[in-house]
Amino acid sequence: MQLRPHARGMRHIDLTDVQLASSETARRINRDIVLELIRANQPISRADLSRQSGLQRSTVSQIVEQLIREKWVCEGAVASLPRGRHPTLLELNEDLVVIAVDIHPKEAIVATVDLKGRLLSRSMVPLTSDPAASTRLLTDCMLRMRQALPRKSIEGIGISLPGRVDPETQRLIFAPNLHWPDFDLKKVIEKAMGLPVKMANAATACLLAELTFRRMDGVRDIVLVTVSEGVGTGVFANGQLISGNRGMAGEFGHVLLDPSGPRCSCGRRGCWETFASCRAALRYYKELQPQGRTVTFHELLNMAEEGDEFAAQALEKQAAYIGRGLRLIITGLAPSVILVAGDITSAWHRFGPAIEKEAAKLTLGGALPQILPTHEGDIARLRGAAALVFQRGAVREQLLEAGKESRQSEEERKLP
Ligand SMILES: [Zn+2]
C-alpha cells in the first residue's frame, strides 16, 4: 500500500534526543527516524544506519525496503570498504517531487521541489480578488509543470498561505491581506490535479522547512518570523510546533503596538505589522520623499544599496520595528533561536544588526536569542510549502499518540 504523507500533527524528529516509542506506533516512528538519518547523512549504508539509530540490522533492512517501495529512498553508489566489503549506499530519491505554491496577496509562486529541498522549476502566477479565477490560473500552471517533468513522481501539492488554516476543516480562516471570500481552495485544487493538497500559514511552513531541510537538531524553542506584505510567525516551543485553537497561534503580527497607529488590514489600528512589514517600509520612504515615485520593496532594497539615504532610513526604521516586536516574542516565549524569512534576508547586513540592536534593549535575565536569516531566504516559503507534503504520516500519528505517551513499556529505550 502506498502511504501518503500528512501535513498535520507536525512534530520534528530531533536526532540528538531520539526516544524509540513503544506500542503500535513504534514501527512508524522508527521509519521516520531512519528516513531523517538518511536525509541528514546521505549517502549512508544500512550498517551505519543501524549504528546511528541503535536499531537492529534486520529492523533497519525492513524499514529501508519499505522506504524504497514507497519511493522515499533509493540505492545509489557502492562504497569501497576494507576487507572487500561493498555496501550499497542509500540516499533520498531525487525523483520524488512536490508542487509547492507560495501565495502572496497579488501573486503566487509555483515551483517543483525535490525531497532534498532543491527547486527544479518555478513560475509566477498573478492573483486577483476572485479566488475561483485565480485558482484556475494556478492549476493551469501546475499542469504545465507536471507535463514538463514526465519522469518525476509527484507526491502532492503544498501551499503556503498569508493566513491561518483551520487544522480540522483545512479552510483558510484568517487572511486579511489576501481579500478572498470564503473558498475551499484545497478541494478545488485536489479535484483539478488529482493530488493531495496540504496547506499551512507561510510562517509555519517556513519553520517546518528549516526543521526538515536545515535540521536544527537540539534546538527546542524557535520562532520564525516572515516579513513581507504582513508579518507572520510560526512557533516551535518545547520541541513541538504550536498551532493553537483553530490553528490561530502565532498571530503576533496583529498584536497592538500603538492604538493610534496606521490602519491594519485586519481592521484594527497599530498592529505590529503596520510598522514592521515591507509595506510599512514603503510608507516610511514616502513620508521622507513625498514627491518621489512609487517604488516596490525590491527597488527600495536596491536603492538603499546604491546609497539612497532615504531608502536606507526607511529600511532602518522597519528593522527597528521588527526588533521592537521581537521583544514581545522574546518576553513571551523565550526562544533560543529566532529565524527571519522574507526579502529582507537578502539585505541581512543591513537588517540583522539593526534588529538585534533593538531586540537587545530587553533582556529579562535570559540571554538574547540568536536572530538568524532563514537558509536561502528567497525560497524559504517554497521549501516550506514542499515540507508540508514531505512530512511523514507517522508524525501525525505520533501526535495523536502524545496523550498516551505516559504508557511506557519495556520496549522503550533511549538511543545512544
Ligand atoms: Zn492587524
If one compares 160 and 70, the residue with the highest pLDDT of the two is: 160
Q: Do both 193 and 237 map to the same domain?
A: no
Write out pLDDT tens, residues 236-294: 999 888 888 888 888 999 999 999 999 999 999 999 999 999 999 999 999 999 998 99
Residues with Cβ < 8 Å from 65, sequence gap 6 or more? none
378 CA distance to ligand 1 centroid (A)? 25
- Distance in angstroms (rounded) separating the CA atoms of residues 9 and 233: 18
Q: What is the mean pLDDT of residues 391-396?
A: 48
Please state the separation of Cα 162 from the chain's center in Å.
13
- Distance in angstroms (rounded) separating the CA atoms of residues 266 and 174: 9
User: Is the overall model pTM greater than 0.85, yes or no?
Assistant: no
Beta bridge partners of 321: none
Write out pLDDT tens, residues 35-67: 888 988 889 999 999 999 899 999 999 999 999
pLDDT of res. 246: 83
| Straight-line distance from the first to the last Cα atom of the chain, in angstroms, rounded to the nearest whole number | 33
264 CA distance to ligand 1 centroid (A)? 5
- Is residue 53 in some structural domain? no
Question: Please, what is the average pLDDT of the chain?
Answer: 84
136 CA distance to ligand 1 centroid (A)? 29
Q: Do both 185 and 240 map to the same domain?
A: no
Write out pLDDT tens, residues 355-381: 999 998 876 667 789 999 997 766 888
251 CA distance to ligand 1 centroid (A)? 9
39 CA distance to ligand 1 centroid (A)? 39
pLDDT of res. 63: 92
- Is residue 308 in some structural domain? yes
pLDDT of res. 289: 94
Write out pLDDT tens, residues 157-196: 999 998 888 878 888 887 888 888 888 999 999 999 999 9
Write out pLDDT tens, residues 326-359: 999 999 999 999 999 999 999 999 999 999 999 9
Place of cell 483539478: 192
Region of 182 (left: φ > 0; alpha: ψ -120 to 50; beta: rest) is beta
pLDDT of res. 173: 82
User: Is the pLDDT at 25 greater than 60, yes or no?
Assistant: yes
Please give the angle made by the CA atoms of 257, 262 and 263, to the nearest 5 degrees: 105
14 CA distance to ligand 1 centroid (A)? 34
Q: Do both 112 and 187 map to the same domain?
A: yes
Helix (H) or strand (E) run with residue 237 in it: strand 231-237
If one compares 1 and 304, the residue with the highest pLDDT of the two is: 304
256 CA distance to ligand 1 centroid (A)? 8
- Is residue 352 in some structural domain? yes
259 CA distance to ligand 1 centroid (A)? 11
pLDDT band at 7 (very low <50, low <70, confident <90, very high): very low
Q: Do both 158 and 274 map to the same domain?
A: no
Q: Do both 323 and 195 map to the same domain?
A: no
Q: What is the mean pLDDT of residues 1-14?
A: 46
If one compares 386 and 76, the residue with the highest pLDDT of the two is: 386
Write out pLDDT tens, residues 205-230: 899 888 887 777 788 999 999 999 99
250 CA distance to ligand 1 centroid (A)? 13
Q: Do both 190 and 308 map to the same domain?
A: no
292 CA distance to ligand 1 centroid (A)? 28
122 CA distance to ligand 1 centroid (A)? 31
pLDDT of res. 211: 85
pLDDT band at 21 (very low <50, low <70, confident <90, very high): low
User: What three-state secondary structure class fits 393?
Assistant: helix
- Is residue 201 in some structural domain? yes
Q: Do both 292 and 363 map to the same domain?
A: yes
Q: Do both 196 and 247 map to the same domain?
A: no
Residue 253's domain comprises 217-375
Domain count, the chain: 2
Q: Do both 177 and 264 map to the same domain?
A: no
